[in-house]
Amino acid sequence: MVLADQLRMTLDGKWRHVREQSRKELNGFALLADPSLTPDEACDRALEQMKLLVPTGVPGAGFRKENGGGGDPGMGVTGIEMLAQFDLSLMVKAGVQWGLFGGAIENLGTKRHHEAYIPALINLDLLGCFAMTETGHGSDVQNIETTATYDIETEEFVINSPTPSSRKDYIGGAAKHATSAAVFAQLLTKGEGHGVHCFVVPIRTSKGKDMPGVTTSDCGYKGGLAGVDNGRIMFDDVRIPRDNLLNRYGNVAHDGTYTSPVDNVNRRFFTMLGTLVRGRVSVGGSASAAAQVALSIAGRYALKRKQFAAGDGEEVVIMDYRLHQRRLLPLMARSYAYQFAQNQLIARMDKLQTDVEPDPLHQRELEGRAAGLKALQTWHATRTIQECREACGGAGYLTENRLTTLKGDTDVFTTFEGDNHVLLQLVAKELLTSYAEDVRGLDPFGMVRFVAESVADVVKERTAAAQLIQRLIDARPGDSDSEQSLLDRGTQLSLFEDREQHVLETGARRLQRAGKDKEKAFEIFNNAQDHVVKAGRVHIDRVVLEAFTAGIARCEDPEAQALLRDVCDLYALSIIEEDKAWFMEHKRLTATRSKAVTSEVNNLLEKLRPYTLILIEGFAVPEESLGASMLVD
């Protein structure tokens, strides 16, 4: 097998068969976006494309077998992620239907909901949307204003939007296609509130007319995702049967009595949200997929495009310029790294979601990593696609070369399914409070009361292939300053781990002061906010490096393994290079050694330059589906 195939095999991970199947099938569906369509036409086209997916088995894969699904959550999210290589509108629309709407029904509903809705939503007889976000509350979902008040007389819930800011906003599917919505609202019964719950609410007739009391509207033009019919919904005392409450985590009896298996209202809300983790896993993976497409386009162009003559008078292929290598190769290395981390995340999610009794701590770790990886992967996509666009000059600006479409479509990924800055604070919060039970569901500021005395143990928990990682760290050649050791994996792992521990510990100490000084609590928290975000980021950096390390160990081909080791070095050292000021400020690197990091990165660029095409082929984006006319001779 040739080297590129070995890379692809390794990078494809456990759901390789799904990826292989998708590459073949999707390529035949001619899914690439058509810029000449009106938004309305584009939405209809995306819906038609979804119908093509139904027979592939991907849409139902993630649902439980007893509900008519495939019982393979890993396949479900991998299948969605693969769509992102072709068209992001399709990916989002599919993600809304089968991931968010379907996920809410399956995870928050009970048998009666499963039977009534799941088979129908898998085969698109029922089109749904996921109505959580409101105009006034996006990140702070727990404080949405929509109400669902139980009417004991008629045994119905009354759904209402009391204020302009309670309008459901940006809801994919709400502008046109969805006939039902999974609506998140404050449940009120017998004059008492029980927090946010989810309800199935019919919003329009099969002919597309708004249901009585429901007013939908279109969000209009967007920065991308023309094929997604994002809309707004207002409810004016809309009545739904009591049975439409998705009642797995909270039930209302005929007489209005509320019961729940989870007493604490915060914990209940976040338990519900936790079951919907698949959304973030899909968005992060899809962002990475889009970044790989962009790198495949810009990388292939850079191997073909020549500009300026060197000393010998011959024009130079632009990939031969160090500057161009600097621009593209570290991003490729990072894309490799995130794919390994994504594969590990999917495997963990799949395991937890098929376990009979999932471990609650593992569930929270999963949520934290899904949130953090989503943040880093989506920022990586935004940055990478931008760099690729610029690296192709004027050609990169033409829609016929796809990069601007990728850019516009993925742009919202950094803020939907959780704003990245909020998500990284969430990651940090879990670590800084050592997953304390009572902290769930608090706003970022709220964590200050629960910061753990010691966070050291959190870091000591290896995130992947624990023994291997420990062995590598133990075997590192001391803390000597020799240049060589920067290429030692144990040294790199240790630098990442040490940075995480230090940032967490010092962050905890800062926040502990806030816990003790109520007057100045917000001020102290606020001053430490960038520190907290950094804690989330460096934790995920470590998770990613450990996943990469474990992934290489699973590669069986020595040549591919050697190449991946270089790619991993480039990933690790370019992360360190970006944060070298921190390492120097905290005496982890001397000035000399810091300069050596940059030299080593440059050495790696030179070493990897001849493998550029092979690394691109490892991403295995089908050439025919790149959709860049400048690559066609």
CB nearer a copy of itself, residue 112 or residue 595: 595
Site for a copy of itself in 79-138 (CB under 8 A): 133, 137-138
Q: Would you give the end-to-end CA distance of the chain in angstroms?
A: 28
Interacting residues with a copy of itself between 394 and 433 (CB under 8 A): 394, 396-400, 403-404, 407-408, 411-412, 414-416, 419-421
> Is 307 a binder of a copy of itself (CB under 8 A)?
yes
Instruction: Please give the residues from 485 up to 524 whose contact with a copy of itself meets the rule CB under 8 A.
Output: 518, 521-522
Name the minimum Å distance from CB 234 to a copy of itself. 17
Residue 386 found at the interface with a copy of itself (CB under 8 A) = yes
Q: Does residue 71 come out as left (phi exceeding 0), alpha (psi in the -120 to 50 range) or beta?
A: left
Establish if 447 lies at the interface with a copy of itself (CB under 8 A). no
> What phi and psi, each to the nearest 5 degrees, are found at residue 229?
-85, 70
User: How many Å apart are CA 45 and CA 89, to the nearest integer?
Assistant: 10
Residue 619 Cβ vs a copy of itself, minimum distance, rounded to whole Å: 23
Number of other residues whose CB lies within 10 A of the CB of residue 229: 28
Half-sphere exposure of 523 (CA within 13 A, CB side): 5
Q: Is 584 a binder of a copy of itself (CB under 8 A)?
A: yes
Give the list of residues 6+ apart from residue 20 with CB closer than 8 angstroms, or none: 12
Q: Give the nearer residue to a copy of itself in terms of CB position, either 259 or 307.
A: 307
User: Largest alpha-carbon pair distance within the chain?
Assistant: 90
Q: Which residues in the 203-222 window bind a copy of itself by CB under 8 A? A: 219-222
Among 215, 251, 506, 602, binds a copy of itself (CB under 8 A): 602
Taking contact as CB under 8 A, which single stretch among the options 21-29, 240-248, 308-316, 458-466 is the one that binds a copy of itself? 308-316
Contact map string, positions 144 to 183, toward a copy of itself, x by CB under 8 A: -------------------------xx-------------
Is residue 108 a contact partner of residue 246, using CB atoms and an 8 Å limit?
yes
Q: Which residues in 60-79 contact a copy of itself (CB under 8 A)?
A: none
Length in residues, the chain = 633
**For a copy of itself, the closer CB: 78 or 574:** 574
The residue written with tokens 């934790």 in the block is 539
Contacts of a copy of itself in 365-384 (CB under 8 A)? 382
| Only segment of 71-79, 250-258, 286-294, 526-534 that touches a copy of itself (CB under 8 A) | 526-534
Question: Residues with Cβ < 8 Å from 129, sequence gap 6 or more?
Answer: 96, 100, 101, 171, 172, 173, 174, 178, 180, 181, 182, 203
For residues 58 and 105, give the distance between their C-alpha atoms in angstroms, rounded to a whole number: 18
What does the block give as tokens for 200? 């199935």
HSE-up of residue 43 (Cα within 13 Å, Cβ side): 17
Q: Which amino acid is at 517?
A: D
Strands 258-259 and 168-172, by their bridges, are unpaired
Amino acid at 579: D
Q: Point out which span in 176-184, 437-445, 461-469, 501-509 binds a copy of itself (CB under 8 A).
A: 437-445
Residue 241 touches a copy of itself, criterion: CB under 8 A: no
Nearest to a copy of itself of 348, 534 (CB atom): 534
Helix (H, G, I), strand (E, B) or coil at 195: strand
Span 258-287, contacts to a copy of itself by CB under 8 A: none
317-336: contacts with a copy of itself (CB under 8 A): 320-323, 326
Q: How far is the CB of 438 from a copy of itself (least distance, A)?
A: 17
Q: Which is nearer to a copy of itself, 454 or 526 (CB)?
A: 526
- Judged by CB under 8 A, the number of residues near a copy of itself is 72
Nearer to a copy of itself, 515 or 622 (CB): 515
Which of residues 78 and 378 has its CB atom nearest to a copy of itself in the complex?
A: 378
Q: Where are the beta strands (DSSP E) in 57-110?
A: none
Are residues 294 and 385 in contact, defined by beta-carbon separation less than 8 angstroms?
yes
Q: Across the strands, what pairs with 200?
A: 182
